[in-house]
Amino acid sequence: MEHVILIVIAERRLYTFEWLISEEDWDEVNLVCRYLICLLLQIMQIMSRQYAEGVTGSATYYHPAGYEGMVWKYTEKQILIENGISYKEITY
């Protein structure tokens, strides 16, 4: 048995999954890892969509200079624009 650790970094958040496998299970582990990564990204997308759709007034997005998160860029920001919510981006 081998100890497998999958570490996923998505939008600067760290997720860790651990399990024991035998050598015959590597194909299945590869498939599970791909599934978990896709699932995490979908969950983040859904949560971000709900968050952005609930915004009233205005919004501020703080991010490091030279970095614009994909969830912000393609989900939250687009929803704010569609809903006519004013926003500003502040870099640090």
**Domain extent listing, the chain:** 2-91
The predicted model scores a pTM of: 0.61
Q: What is the per-residue pLDDT across 24-82, written as a single tens digit (0 to 9) for each?
A: 777 777 777 788 888 888 888 888 899 899 999 999 999 888 888 888 999 999 999 99
Q: Residue ranges of the alpha helices (H) in the chain?
A: 26-53, 70-71, 77-82
